[in-house]
Amino acid sequence: MPTNNKRMYDKGMVLAGLVIFVVVVTFPFWYNLGKAAPPPEPVLTEKAKAAEKCVESTEFMKAEHMQLLDVWRDTVVRDAKRAYINPEGKTYMMSLSNTCLDCHDNKADFCDKCHNYASVRPYCWDCHIDNPKETE
Amino acid sequence: MKSSRRRFLKLAGIAALGLGSRPVVDAAYAAVGGQAAPEPKVGRQPEALTAKQWAMVIDTRRFESAADMEPLIEACHSIHNVPHFENKRHEIKWIWETEYKHAFPGKENDFLPWEVKERPYLVLCNHCENPPCVRACPTKATFKNENGIVVMDFHRCIGCRFCMAACPFGSRSFNFRDPRPFVAETNKKFPTRMKGVVEKCNFCAERLAEGKMPACVEASDGALVFGDLYDPQSKVRQVLNDNYTIRRKQELGTSPAVYYIV
């Protein structure tokens, strides 16, 4: 015969333990509450400011630069085509080191700021020279 | 619902009409003036040099000693950030000198002229018309591009070295170590490589795209001739027409695109 006697043993200990457990697990959340790191603001070089527009619009570049670079890489390496004509009809050479970094020659203040914030580690710089001017 | 042949044919007809209507609808949309934002385009730079198959003729009579080849090798290795390793087993080479017996095994007749046998020979990737390395590569990291150059896509190379085993000319080198610290002076315009990829001569694809001749050809003072193998008016074809030439290990059927005047 099943009894309906649902008694909790060591009620006080169990509940106290549960409370401590919840507090410990959620500690990082409430401890850091309101202390979120501010979104990074990449620094534009004088040359980039003077150019006013990147190869595409700023919104597009912010959101899609990785896809753009991926297309660039495949088109240059595999199709041997190196010229990119943007919607305004301006032609750019598709090159990370020679075109992107020509204006944005401050990798630490431009690329790395957001990449570190978002914790992404692109391996572009394993091979591509990261700062064409700094080391000159 | 009862299905019959009649019903099936009707449905199939309607479906085909639906599939075929896409271009019509698109054309109608464009005609009304509902143009989307202009698409960016990619293309060749106007000054880019193209060919069906780039080829090179090396006049070996012009190179009497290793010192004659040094400027060519230096020109190539410096612009391509080729590292210099003291340890021979880590060596990376795009273009280098070798002896007759290693360049042309099987062509060692008895009593060859002394100068032919003793002269150094300049060797590099042959950019074969039938490249065995391309067939061996499991990731298509190495491929024959539209200009006939056997190109390495370092982004895709997984470092399996099947291509090195497949190449009968030893034209490929493997980066056993991070090459960057061993590049004496980096050319900022060209990437270095990373540990774990294979590399080799690229017939200066990046220079041809800018309308320039390969670095070794430029530094050779006419001893190296470069051009389109399938253009009867090209310089290589003229030189091939005027001189008897040989190729490395032609019997293997890879059809090298580097020819030697001996």
Q: What is the DSSP string of B100-131?
A: HHHHSTT---TT--HHHHHS-EEEE----SS-
pLDDT of B148 reads 95
Look at B209 and A87 and tell me if their CB atoms are within 8 Å: no
| Closest of B89, B77, B69 to residue B184, by C-alpha | B77
Inform me whether the pLDDT recorded for A39 exceeds 80: yes
Residue B95 has pLDDT above 70, yes or no: yes
**B247 and B152, same domain (yes or no):** yes
Interchain contact A99–B (C-beta under 8 A): no
User: Is pLDDT above 80 for B33?
Assistant: no
E strand or H helix at A24, and its extent? Answer: helix A11-31
Report which residue type is found at B87: N
Could you give the CA distance from residue B134 to residue B152 in angstroms, rounded to a whole number?
A: 9
| Interface contact A75-B42, CB threshold 8 A | yes
Q: How far apart are CA B198 and CA B94, in angstroms?
A: 11
B21 and B144 fall within a common domain: no
Burial letters for B77-111: b for 16+ Cβ neighbours within 10 Å, e otherwise? bbbbbbbebeeeebebbbbbbeebeebbeebeeee
What pLDDT is attached to residue B178?
94
Give CA–CA dist B134/B167, Å, rounded. Answer: 9
Judging contacts by C-beta atoms under 8 Å, the chain B residues touching residue A78 are 143, 145, 151, 153
Give the model's pLDDT for residue A17. Answer: 96
Domain range spanning residue B27?
1-34
CA nearest to A89 within chain B: B40
Q: Read off the pLDDT of residues B159-216 as tens digits, 9 standing for 90 and up.
A: 999 999 999 999 999 999 999 999 988 898 899 999 999 999 999 999 999 999 999 9
Report the share of chain A in percent with pLDDT over 90.
52
**CB of A53 less than 8 A from some CB of B:** no
What is each CA distance from B169 to B62, B134, B259, in whole angstroms?
22, 14, 14
pLDDT class of A135 with cuts at 50, 70, 90: very low
- Report d(CA A40, CA A42) in Å as an integer: 6
Tell me if B165 is assigned to some domain.
Answer: yes
pLDDT of residue A105: 87
Residue B206 lies in a domain: yes
| A56 close contact with B: CB closer than 8 A | yes
Phi, psi of B180 (to 5 degrees): -55, -45
A126 contacts on B by Cβ (under 8 Å): 194
Choose among B38, B146, B193: nearest Cβ to A127.
B193
Please check the confidence at residue A132 and state whether its pLDDT lies above 60: no
Q: Are A84 and B147 an interchain contact pair (Cβ–Cβ within 8 Å)?
A: no
pLDDT at position A41 is 87
CA distance A105 to chain B (A): 12
Q: Are residues B19 and B62 in the same domain?
A: no
Which structure tokens are listed for A75?
Answer: 């088109």
Q: What count of CB pairs under 8 Å joins A to B?
A: 70
Q: Which of chain A's residues have a Cβ under 8 Å away from the Cβ of B155? A: 73, 77
Report H helices in chain B.
5-32, 66-79, 100-103, 114-118, 132-136, 162-166, 205-208, 215-219, 235-242
Do B103 and B173 fall into the same domain? yes
Q: Is residue B41 in a domain?
A: no
| B109 part of a folded domain | yes
Q: Which residues of A touch B48 (CB under 8 A)?
A: 80, 82
Number of domains in chain B: 2
pLDDT-derived band at A34, boundaries 50, 70, 90: confident
Residues of A in contact with B154 (CB under 8 A): 127
Secondary structure element (H or E) that encloses residue A29, with its range: helix A11-31
Residues B257 and B146 in one domain: yes
Instruction: Answer whether residue B42 is part of any domain.
Output: no
Domain annotation covers residue B85: yes
Q: Are residues B3 and B128 in the same domain?
A: no
Least confident of A34-43, A50-59, B62-71: A34-43
Q: Given a cut of 50, is residue A136 above it in pLDDT?
A: no
List chain B residues with CB under 8 Å of A81: 42-44
What is the mean pLDDT of the segment spanning A61-78?
Answer: 93
- On the question of pLDDT at A133 being above 60, the answer is no
Q: What mean pLDDT do residues A109-116 have? A: 91
**Amino acid letter, A110:** F
Q: Do B147 and A97 touch (CB under 8 A)?
A: no
Phi, psi of B259 (to 5 degrees): -110, 150
Q: Is position B43 within any domain?
A: no
**Both ends of chain B: CA-CA distance in Å?**
83
Residue B46 resides in a domain: no
Instruction: Give the residues across from B22 on adjacent strands.
Output: none
* Confidence check: pLDDT of A115 > 60: yes
Q: Tell me how far apart the alpha carbons of residues A37 and A53 are, in angstroms, rounded to a whole number.
A: 28
Mean predicted confidence (pLDDT) in B55-74:
94
B116/B170 same-domain check? yes
Q: Does A127 touch chain B (CB under 8 A)?
A: yes
Tell whether B60 and B182 lie within a shared domain. yes
Are B124 and B248 in contact, with CB atoms under 8 Å apart?
A: no
Q: Are residues B189 and B71 in the same domain?
A: yes
Closest CB to A85 among B41, B146, B189: B41
* Same domain membership, residue B232 and residue B183: yes
Name the residue among B217, B212, B259 with its Cα closest to residue B76.
B217
Which residues of B are less than 8 Å from A105 in CB distance? none
B99 and B201 share one domain: yes
Write the CATH number for B144. 3.30.70.20
Residues B17 and B136 grouped into a single domain:
no
Is the pLDDT reported for residue B248 higher than 80? yes
